[in-house]
């Protein structure tokens, strides 16, 4: 003890009524909704791995990696000290640790290498855990996973790249792919003049002789994780917009003409580097047919949409877990926050949203599992990827914002994870089809893919009888959908329709799999209009106590 220190300073250092850090808990075992959904979907074989990863991600050390990787953002080195082009991004060691952990757990590849039923669900659950810890590194993980779906339209290329893509070893060295133990894929579609409307791409592709080799000249305005080993990009070839695989190194072992101009100074997702890049006759290989670039790369896009749904469900889960933890330890006006009636309403409402998101995300992942052998599930996955992507990404922005406020001023401070979750939330909604574009895509699927509508309605009619409100909601939706071809305002109403479809899907899942109190609260508040415009407006009849006690 320092006798010189005045007593007043000692008392100022005492942290009264502060909440202990939420650490050393198991992210998987604490999530009863995810646990049950994994078992139900035939992915129970991944249980031990999920438990271990859930434990690891809850440790203080791994939580620290997430903070460090975001506080120490990537640095671009365009040139070396002699003035030669270098075009390398240097990341903090914690970024590499996060990447190594995800790759060792096969979050980038599991369904491609594991043929057991439920592999997509198992991977979705793994990603739901990693995304709660840190969102940024999931970008290259997701692009690598999704890129395989497009690469497979060119079997020779896929055969060459897949062994290294599927490796469980993370190899961050900037070196030609054949020299590496593991490689990663990125994506380059967006250009300065437009991202949604990729047909306006100006990047050009010139064919080299009669092979599938081309030289690419142009730019990409957003090219995330530029240290990936190869990129699926779009460029205008003689027969129209086409998809190419553009590696960072040419087959002769030289640096490809892939120049990183600068990194974006982003609002969130700060651990990850998102670059502006120029291609000056960069070497690339055609993927799929020339002129059919959009339909070739769409397979990648559909898989990344699944990941946007997973990422958003993860953000909501982590946000509500933090909010409930805080409320269990923080007192105000003589009582713990968790015992304050209005706070209980808010927390229960946030928990309902999170559970509904997890159920929809897992249902979507299970459709990806079944789609290889079942055309109906393929059609369901096609439309539900868009619906879930739209709705979960939108809801995450609101749900995370409200959860942040449950921590009061502490939630606004970087040391809590809340600002990071909040800044990450809008991103999932922007990329892979921003809100409006996704809703227009839902209309396109409804109009052009009759099977998608048929299987969607069949899913919604399933197990309906127990609840009259759900029956009515679905009937009204069905009537509305039958009139869409004649509706002159259809495009302007696309968000409204997407929202109704998402709510119907979530209600259907809640009725089947949630506790009676949770399902009833969802139906009353989301389908029956007994809810205000903000979270925490559940009607008095809702059994808030039962909902809150369901969260472990
Ligand atoms: C952090 C970050 C990383 C990214 N990484 C990548 C990457 O690695 N690779 C890549 O290719 N792209 C990447 N992107 C780009 C992203 O995919 C695009 O920003 C997105 O597709 C939207 O394109 P845009 O920005 O050009 O917006 P625009 O296409 O200009 O759209 C602007 C707005 O208009 C809306 N809109 C567009 N068309 C219509 C319409 N017909 N009717 C009504 N509304 C419409 C959109 O929904 C959007 O809200 C990244 C973006 C961010 C923020």
Summarised one tens digit per residue, pLDDT across range 314-358 is: 999 999 999 999 999 999 999 999 999 999 999 999 999 999 999
Q: What band does 8 get if pLDDT is binned at 50, 70 and 90?
A: low
Determine the average pLDDT of the residues in 132-150: 98
Q: Is the pLDDT assigned to residue 204 strictly greater than 90?
A: yes
Residue nearest to atom 11 of ligand 1 (CA): 189
Determine the average pLDDT of the residues in 502-522: 96
Distances in Å between the Cα of 59 and the Cα atoms of 25, 149, 283, 451 are: 7, 34, 44, 46
Q: What band does 4 get if pLDDT is binned at 50, 70 and 90?
A: low
Q: Is the pLDDT assigned to residue 12 strictly greater than 80?
A: no
Q: Is the pLDDT assigned to residue 107 strictly greater than 80?
A: yes
Q: Is the pLDDT assigned to residue 6 strictly greater than 80?
A: no
CA distance 306 to 145: 11
Cβ atoms within 10 Å of 552's Cβ, excluding its own: 12
How many angstroms separate the alpha carbon of residue 111 from the centre of ligand 1? 28
**Ligand 1 pocket residue status of 427, Cβ below 6 Å:** yes
- Indicate the top mutation candidate among 142, 191, 222 to test ligand 1's pocket, ranked by most ligand atoms within 8 A of CB: 222
Are 275 and 226 a contacting pair, CB within 8 Å? yes
Q: What are the pLDDT digits (tens) for 513-542? A: 999 999 999 999 999 999 999 999 999 999
At 337 the pLDDT is: 98
At 7 the pLDDT is: 52
Q: What band does 1 get if pLDDT is binned at 50, 70 and 90?
A: very low
Task: Please count the helices (runs of H) and the strands (runs of E) in the chain.
Answer: 19, 11
Beta bridge partners of 332: 335
Q: What are the pLDDT digits (tens) for 436-492? A: 999 999 999 999 999 999 999 999 987 656 788 999 999 999 999 988 777 888 999
CA distance 140 to 310: 15
How many angstroms separate the alpha carbon of residue 149 from the centre of ligand 1? 22
Determine the average pLDDT of the residues in 276-301: 97
Proportion of the chain above pLDDT 90, given as a percent: 93
Q: Is the pLDDT assigned to residue 10 strictly greater than 60?
A: no
Cβ atoms within 10 Å of 401's Cβ, excluding its own: 17
- 154: which residues sit within 8 A by CB, 6+ positions away? 212, 245, 285, 286, 287, 288
**Ligand 1 pocket residue status of 434, Cβ below 6 Å:** yes
Determine the average pLDDT of the residues in 232-236: 98
**Ligand 1 pocket residue status of 430, Cβ below 6 Å:** yes
Are 390 and 309 a contacting pair, CB within 8 Å? no
How many angstroms separate the alpha carbon of residue 427 from the centre of ligand 1? 10
CA distance 295 to 242: 9
- 504: which residues sit within 8 A by CB, 6+ positions away? 460, 470, 473, 474, 477
Give this prediction's pTM: 0.97
Mean of the per-residue pLDDT values of the chain: 95
Determine the average pLDDT of the residues in 228-247: 98
Q: Is the pLDDT assigned to residue 11 strictly greater than 70?
A: no
Closest CA to 371 of 388, 389, 384, 357: 384
Cβ atoms within 10 Å of 548's Cβ, excluding its own: 18
**Ligand 1 pocket residue status of 189, Cβ below 6 Å:** yes
Query: What is the bridge-based pairing of β-strands 185-188 and 230-237?
Result: parallel
Determine the average pLDDT of the residues in 102-126: 97
Annotate 443-465 with DSSP letters as a single string: HHHHHH-HHHHHHHHHHHHTT-T
At 232 the pLDDT is: 98
Using only C-alpha atoms, what is the Rg of the chain?
24
């Amino acid at each position: 003890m320092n006798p010189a220190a005045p007593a007043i300073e000692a008392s100022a250092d005492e942290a009264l009524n502060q909440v202990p850090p939420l650490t050393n808990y198991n992210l998987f075992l604490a999530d009863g909704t995810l646990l049950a959904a994994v078992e139900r979907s035939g992915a129970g074989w991944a249980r031990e791995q999920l438990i271990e990863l859930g434990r690891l991600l809850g440790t203080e050390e791994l939580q620290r990696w997430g903070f460090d990787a975001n506080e120490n953002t990537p640095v671009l080195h365009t040139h070396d000290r002699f003035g030669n082009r270098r075009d390398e991004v240097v990341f903090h060691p914690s970024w590499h640790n996060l990447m190594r952990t995800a790759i060792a757990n096969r979050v980038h590849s599991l369904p491609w290498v594991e043929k057991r039923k439920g592999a997509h669900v198992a991977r979705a659950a793994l990603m739901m855990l990693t995304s709660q810890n840190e969102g940024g590194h999931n970008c290259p993980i997701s692009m690598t996973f999704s890129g395989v779906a497009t690469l497979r339209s060119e079997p020779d290329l896929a055969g060459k790249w897949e062994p290294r893509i599927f490796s469980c070893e993370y190899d961050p060295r900037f070196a030609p792919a054949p020299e590496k133990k593991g490689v990663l894929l990125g994506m380059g579609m967006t250009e300065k003049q437009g991202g949604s409307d990729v047909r306006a791409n100006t990047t050009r592709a010139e064919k080299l002789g009669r092979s599938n080799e081309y030289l690419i000249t142009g730019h990409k305005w957003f090219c995330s994780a530029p240290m990936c080993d190869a990129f699926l990009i779009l460029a205008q070839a003689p027969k129209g917009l086409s998809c190419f695989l553009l590696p960072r190194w040419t087959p002769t072992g030289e640096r490809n003409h892939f120049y990183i101009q600068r990194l974006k100074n982003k609002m969130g997702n700060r651990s990850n580097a998102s670059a502006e890049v120029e291609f000056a006759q960069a070497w690339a290989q055609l993927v799929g047919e020339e002129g059919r670039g959009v339909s070739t790369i769409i397979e990648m896009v559909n898989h990344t949409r699944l990941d946007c749904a997973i990422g958003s469900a993860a953000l909501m889960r982590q946000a509500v877990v933090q909010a409930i933890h805080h409320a269990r330890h923080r007192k105000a006006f003589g009582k713990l926050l968790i015992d304050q009636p209005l706070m209980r309403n808010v927390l229960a409402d946030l928990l309902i949203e999170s559970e509904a998101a997890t159920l929809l995300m897992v249902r979507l992942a299970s459709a990806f599992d079944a789609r290889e052998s079942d055309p109906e599930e393929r059609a369901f996955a096609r439309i539900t990827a868009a619906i879930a992507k739209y709705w979960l990404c939108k809801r995450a922005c609101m749900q995370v914002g409200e959860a942040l406020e449950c921590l009061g001023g502490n939630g606004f401070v970087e040391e809590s994870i809340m600002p990071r979750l909040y800044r990450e939330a809008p991103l999932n909604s922007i990329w892979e089809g921003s809100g409006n574009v996704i809703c227009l895509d839902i209309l396109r699927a409804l109009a052009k893919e009759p099977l998608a509508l048929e299987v969607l309605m069949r899913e919604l009619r399933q197990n309906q009888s127990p609840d009259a409100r759900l029956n009515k909601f679905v009937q009204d939706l069905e009537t509305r959908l039958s009139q869409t071809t004649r509706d002159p305002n259809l495009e302007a109403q696309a968000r409204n329709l997407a929202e109704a479809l998402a709510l119907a899907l979530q209600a259907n899942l809640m009725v089947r799999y949630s506790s009676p109190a949770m399902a009833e609260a969802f139906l009353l508040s989301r389908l029956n209009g007994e809810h205000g415009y903000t979270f925490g407006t559940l009607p008095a009849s809702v059994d808030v106590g039962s909902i809150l006690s369901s969260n472990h």
